[in-house]
Structure 1
Amino acid sequence: MKVRLLLPLIYLGFWITTQAQSPRYIIDSLGLQLREATSPEDRVGIYSELTWYWAMVNLDSALAYGNQGLELAQKIGDQSKIAQAYSDLGNAYNQLGEFDLAKNAYRTALQIRTALGDSTGMAGSKSNLASIHQRLYQTDSAMAYYVEALSYYEKVGNDRYVNFIKNNLGVLHEDLRNYPKALEFYEEVAEYREKNEMIQDLAMLYNNMGNIYKNTKSYDRSEEYLKKALKNGLQVGDSLVISVTYLNLASMYNAADRPDEAILAAETGIKIAEKVNSKYDQAMMQYALGNSYSKKKQYLKAKSAFQSAISVLEKLNAQDEVSSIQLRMIPIFAALNMPDSAQYYTDLYIDYRNTLTEKQIEQFTAELQTKYETEKKDQEIASQQLAIRNKNIQLYGSLFLALALGIVGYLLYSQQKLKNRQLQQEAELKAALAQLETQNKLQEQRMLISRDLHDNIGAQLTFIISAIENLKYFEPIKEQLTARYDSIANFTKQTITELRDTIWAMNSGQVSWESLTGRIQDYLQKARQSTPSIDFSFEKDPSIAGDQTINSSDSIQILRIIQEAVQNAVKYSGAKVVHVQVRKSADGFQIEISDDGKGFEESAINPGNGLYNMRKRAEELGGLLELNSNPGKGTQITLRWKE
């Protein structure tokens, strides 16, 4: 039976049993399987997989597929599949930050699996529940669930699951600030994962190790591990791991007094978290931005970021994080000369800490009362228990007083630190110079790659064309192979053209509209020469400045969409006129490729790779591709994207 474990990072985590394939690639493949599936059992299994992989890309889609899978599993009455559906939904809720919903889903899965006597499933559910308790800082419950799951997996000899449970135990020790013990676990886990080339899981582990080195102020080691984590996350296309890595980088840069780099990491991470709708990660990166702006003395920006984070975290019931941000806002309002607001957040922070202490005392008292009632027949023991309870209440009262004094001392310390931050200007300048040096190195690497493509691959393709042209005149088989040689030669020439376009985009970094329209017109001129029966025309909106630039990656997507649309018109439309028009829209740009051909009904055709690729490129551009075609009235393809 399939069982998935959630294996948290400091802020996020999950485990997937697949190799290093792009989640998008797997999702597309599963979508095809879903359309072809006929039995309800097969469809439930595919819904489960889609829920799991969409959780790496977009959490709204993950929840939609998870609920469809649960509904179908309940309809067919398969208890095992119902339990798995609840487990998959728990994963999605966990990544979304809806911890109460995640906990309920995992508990339901555990109850069903217990009733079925499914030991493997029970171990998986216990591990997942442990991850939720861990994120809610309920360390005792998390430890108990993990130990139960670890005992089972060691018993059955499942080394892979043992590895992941040990990783989580390392996280628990990290939460308890027992960093040497946490690193001991992590190093054992890393050895296994590196040996088995578990790229995605290593990305999660490197995040944890990077955070430990950050907390012990070994910032160089921390940056080394976090960048290794980012590299692995990008390699497997895991958006959630990438988002968390940027969050950890931002936190590390702030701790190392490198706020500019922290801002860059947090802003990049927010964009990725928004794509997958991970509300918790978005809020925590706003928290990191607030810390960065505070270090740069940009107090209004810091206040705005902190308030944005609080508004989301309060909805997620992440009260510990909210309390930490409230503490950070006290010196912000002090620096803005807003003493009333500073006092307000001071009161909020103290009230929360008081409430937390009161809850601890209340819980402890309730436990003693229960124990007292169960043993009330023994008066002597009851008396002893009552005495113990009173002593502990006095102890907790003393601890509360000490905590209140500690908070006051910390506030005074924080106010004093505000006066010393003028010394940060030199560190900020060094950080800016380091960022500039990194950008220069990236540009040098881009130039080196494009030069290698041109000198090596381009030269080899040219040699292939020359060899094919010579073989055409080999008399014994000239007539039989000439057509085939021509086809290969034409394909190779087309490859060279596309290679040159790619090199052009890589060398440019930023591409001007003048350069891009020149490429489009060159392509249309070649089409005109190869198909003189069609009138090709091009028009660019005069309001688009020629020196206005766009990203090189965006320019190659635009060029490829136009090329594909023109090729389709030439091959299939029977058109006499093909017109390409570039226009400025209210919030971006619009490109139309139209013809006066025979047109078609889209619902009556089987869309090929060309139309699919155009829509995928439009999606990667962050835009929308629209197809409008009617029989006898021609075809119009419209590409829209925001600036």
Structure 2
Amino acid sequence: MLEKFFLTYFPPNQLFMNSFYRFLGVFSILLYTQFLSAQTTSELLDSLKTELSKAKTANDRSLILSELTWYYVPVSQDTAILFGEENIKVAKSLDDAAVLSQAYSDLAYANMEKGELIEAKKNYQEALKLRYQTGDSTKIYGTITNLGSVYQRDFQSDSAMVNYLKALSFFERTGNERNADFVRNNIGVIYLEMRNYPKALEILQKVAEYRKAQNVDYLYASTLTNIASIYKNLKDYQNSEKTYLEALQIFIEEGDDYYTATTYNNLATLYNAQKYSKLAISFAEKGLELAAQVGADYDYALLESNLAQSYHDLKDYPQSREFYLRALSHFKAQNAEDDIATMYLLMSPVYAALGMPDSSAYYTQAYSDLNKKLTEQEIQQLTSDLEARYQSEQKDAAISRQRLELRNKNFQLYGSLVLAVVLGVVGYLLYSQQKLKNRQLAQEGELKIALAQIETQNKLQEQRMLISRDLHDNIGAQLTFIISAIENLKYFDPIKDTLSHRYDSIADFTKQTITELRDTIWAMNSGQITLGQLSARISDYLERAGVSTRGITFDFDIEKSLDPNFSMVSSEGIQIYRIVQEAIQNALKYAYPSQITVAVAQIGKGFQLVVKDDGTGFEESQVKAGNGLYNMRKRAEELGGKLEIQSKTGKGTYVTLLIPKK
């Protein structure tokens, strides 16, 4: 059900520094020998705390606190954060940018592993500012990489990719293959999160080969875990299990209880996907014990949710409810709202099976409310980003105008001086007049450029408003599918084998909402899109609609003579796509069809798009037009096209959009 991907991070001290060099600045060679003989992480931490009590200078204390922060992360993130915060205070007293930047980086790493992403981002940014002062390029780009990891954890894949590509370019340019390997691994994880499984597998297999050749067992195991996740999503369960078990064995041999617990959770997820519930329970219980020991609260909640799923599949509904409630409590304690929403959705059928319809309805409504809140937050964030960009460009335009005014004053002054000089020289006067005329023409050209910039900003504002309306309409279409599917579930016996499949389908489809939001922003920034791209998007939308809405057949017909490379402005493509969504949404809400067909055909030099259904139909003259019909007609008008709606009671509905060639 819930699994965890593995990213890799740059160590908080010198990149890829081995244990000897990490300790050399603080301890004697004797202590290093003592460290080599240590058998457990616990002994290492005890040794560090002993050395901390003996440290005589603030510089020594800071170095030891740095080590304690780093090594406590897989053991107890709360303790790691306490040491990290203490190190910040000590480092500030030294007035050393390099030491203070290291302290901020240590604390950011602990914040990130605990899931405190806002604090992690803030502390990494503080570290980056200080490292720019020190001029250490390797550490600068290491911090940029870790900022990318924070963005990736926060599902901001575009920002993460920007940071990763900056760092990768530097490391490849300087021949630092080991650092570049870290970045490639995280890029592979982004492709995994984006469900581009072939690309993710291609990158991560190369990363695994490199790490195995370098005998870096711990990092090799983390990459194996991600590869196993890809195999699981491709339903290659045999290779997935084999790869997970290989990673698990390495983590156990390394004595890493934290990542051992996480891998137990991923194996439980794999076995739940195959309905091997008892096997999933045995691995989840082992993971729970280890997660409790290392204080991995988030992973503990993930394991509880997997146990709840296993008991649900075994139809032990009281036990399933108990673990769902425990997981929900732990997710709430960590403010993990996406996971809380998932728990609400999965708990509803459990209460239905227990004959508690009121509780089932309560959690269904709680899921709907929280999902709406999360969607609105995402929209607000996107809108704020656009607004900030717009304001920044407005300020740039204002500065340009001020510079232009200053140049105008200078031109006037120089013109007056020249004119005063040439008054006594008739021949030179003609030359001066021509020179002044040329300068005036250049000034007019600059004025035109400035006016064009202002016009561009106004168009940007119009685009922003269009994006906001698109986001609203798209969310409405997506939620309609979700609500329709949830309502249909009321007519199914929740104990039947098909129930889990339907809820999984709903959950997968809900996750596409945010993807669709980002599609809108992407399309608006693309400039041009082809008819082939638009057709692929419509086809994907119909496929997902068919999965989420049973009992309805969705067909997509496109005339073969149409040129798939026919291009259009991206905003026009989005308008057409939204009209299709709105027409299908209306059919699902009001017409109760058994079949919906979208057809695209060549009409003259333009093309025609038809959305038809075999539902109940309606008399348009007897129906009060709502926002849906109004938006469809408004979009068609903005396209310069023509929208016709033909419907009769009992005979279905035809929505026809005619787009002339421009």
The code of the aligned residue for 1:61 comes to T
CA distance in 2, matches of 1:244, 1:253: 14
Q: Answer yes or no: is 1:402 the counterpart of 2:477.
A: yes
Q: 1:304 is matched with which residue? A: 322
TM-score (norm 2): 0.58
Pairing 1:37-436 to 2, within 5 Å after superposition: 37-366=55-384, 369=387, 374=394, 380-381=455-456, 384-411=459-486, 416=492, 418-421=494-497
CA distance in 1, matches of 2:499, 2:227: 30
Instruction: Report how far residue 361 of structure 1 moved.
Output: 3.9
CA distance in 2, matches of 1:13, 1:342: 40
Instruction: Report how far residue 88 of structure 1 moved.
Output: 1.3
- For residue 211 of structure 2, give the secondary structure of its aligned residue in structure 1: helix
* Contact 2:148-2:160 within 8 A present in 1 as well: yes
CA distance in 1, matches of 2:493, 2:179: 46
Distance 1:265 1:391, change over 3 A: same
The code of the aligned residue for 2:496 comes to N
* Contact 2:9-2:145 within 8 A present in 1 as well: no
- For residue 177 of structure 1, give the secondary structure of its aligned residue in structure 2: coil
Post-superposition CA distance 1:40-65 (Å, at most 9, x none) = 32332122112211222233432333
CA distance in 1, matches of 2:389, 2:77: 44
CA distance in 1, matches of 2:382, 2:88: 39
Distance 1:189 1:342, change over 3 A: same
Q: 1:10 is matched with which residue? A: 5
CA distance in 2, matches of 1:380, 1:100: 37
- For residue 157 of structure 1, give the secondary structure of its aligned residue in structure 2: coil
The code of the aligned residue for 2:477 comes to A
Distance 1:13 1:283, change over 3 A: farther
Distance 1:372 1:137, change over 3 A: closer
- For residue 155 of structure 2, give the secondary structure of its aligned residue in structure 1: coil
CA distance in 1, matches of 2:164, 2:152: 10
CA distance in 2, matches of 1:372, 1:70: 37
Post-superposition CA distance 1:189-215 (Å, at most 9, x none) = 011011011111111111111111111
Pairing 1:513-532 to 2, within 5 Å after superposition: none
5+ long unaligned stretches in structure 2: 20-35, 399-450, 501-662
Pairing 1:444-593 to 2, within 5 Å after superposition: none
- For residue 137 of structure 1, give the secondary structure of its aligned residue in structure 2: coil
Instruction: Report how far residue 26 of structure 1 moved.
Output: 3.4
The code of the aligned residue for 1:315 comes to A
The code of the aligned residue for 1:347 comes to Q
CA distance in 2, matches of 1:47, 1:394: 51
* Contact 1:203-1:241 within 8 A present in 2 as well: no
CA distance in 1, matches of 2:464, 2:498: 51
The code of the aligned residue for 1:185 comes to I
- For residue 205 of structure 1, give the secondary structure of its aligned residue in structure 2: helix
CA distance in 2, matches of 1:160, 1:372: 40
Distance 1:156 1:410, change over 3 A: farther
* Contact 1:203-1:232 within 8 A present in 2 as well: yes
* Contact 2:8-2:186 within 8 A present in 1 as well: no
CA distance in 1, matches of 2:386, 2:64: 50
Q: 1:626 is matched with which residue? A: none
5+ long unaligned stretches in structure 1: 1-7, 425-643
CA distance in 2, matches of 1:233, 1:15: 19
CA distance in 2, matches of 1:323, 1:423: 18
Instruction: Report how far residue 413 of structure 1 moved.
Output: 6.8
The code of the aligned residue for 2:193 comes to D
The code of the aligned residue for 1:408 comes to I
Instruction: Report how far residue 386 of structure 1 moved.
Output: 4.8
CA distance in 1, matches of 2:233, 2:91: 45
CA distance in 2, matches of 1:123, 1:362: 31
CA distance in 1, matches of 2:353, 2:9: 41
Identity of aligned residues (%): 35
- For residue 494 of structure 2, give the secondary structure of its aligned residue in structure 1: helix
Instruction: Report how far residue 182 of structure 1 moved.
Output: 0.7
Instruction: Report how far residue 124 of structure 1 moved.
Output: 1.8
Instruction: Report how far residue 423 of structure 1 moved.
Output: 12
CA distance in 1, matches of 2:464, 2:9: 41
Distance 1:94 1:369, change over 3 A: closer
CA distance in 2, matches of 1:312, 1:358: 24
- For residue 418 of structure 1, give the secondary structure of its aligned residue in structure 2: coil
TM-score (norm 1): 0.60
Q: Which has the higher mean CA deviation after the structures are superposed, 58-67 or 105-114?
A: 58-67
CA distance in 1, matches of 2:159, 2:458: 30
CA distance in 1, matches of 2:77, 2:380: 38
Instruction: Report how far residue 253 of structure 1 moved.
Output: 1.0
The code of the aligned residue for 1:402 comes to A
Distance 1:343 1:422, change over 3 A: closer
* Contact 1:59-1:277 within 8 A present in 2 as well: yes
CA distance in 2, matches of 1:383, 1:79: 44
Instruction: Report how far residue 9 of structure 1 moved.
Output: 6.0
CA distance in 2, matches of 1:107, 1:301: 45
Distance 1:417 1:236, change over 3 A: farther
Distance 1:338 1:112, change over 3 A: same
* Contact 1:203-1:230 within 8 A present in 2 as well: yes
CA distance in 2, matches of 1:286, 1:176: 26
Post-superposition CA distance 1:488-507 (Å, at most 9, x none) = xxxxxxxxxxxxxxxxxxxx
Instruction: Report how far residue 260 of structure 1 moved.
Output: 1.2
Post-superposition CA distance 1:209-228 (Å, at most 9, x none) = 11111112111111111111
* Contact 1:279-1:312 within 8 A present in 2 as well: yes
CA distance in 2, matches of 1:177, 1:133: 18
- For residue 364 of structure 2, give the secondary structure of its aligned residue in structure 1: helix
CA distance in 1, matches of 2:89, 2:384: 41
Distance 1:390 1:109, change over 3 A: closer
Instruction: Report how far residue 367 of structure 1 moved.
Output: 5.1
* Contact 1:110-1:125 within 8 A present in 2 as well: yes
Post-superposition CA distance 1:151-182 (Å, at most 9, x none) = 22222221111111111111111111111111
State the Cα RMSD in Å: 2.8
The code of the aligned residue for 1:418 comes to P
Work out the number of aligned pairs and report it.
417
Q: Which has the higher mean CA deviation after the structures are superposed, 113-122 or 362-371?
A: 362-371
Distance 1:254 1:277, change over 3 A: same
Instruction: Report how far residue 324 of structure 1 moved.
Output: 1.5
Instruction: Report how far residue 122 of structure 1 moved.
Output: 1.8
CA distance in 2, matches of 1:297, 1:113: 56
Post-superposition CA distance 1:288-335 (Å, at most 9, x none) = 111111111122222222222222222323211211221111211211
Instruction: Report how far residue 108 of structure 1 moved.
Output: 1.8
* Contact 1:126-1:146 within 8 A present in 2 as well: yes
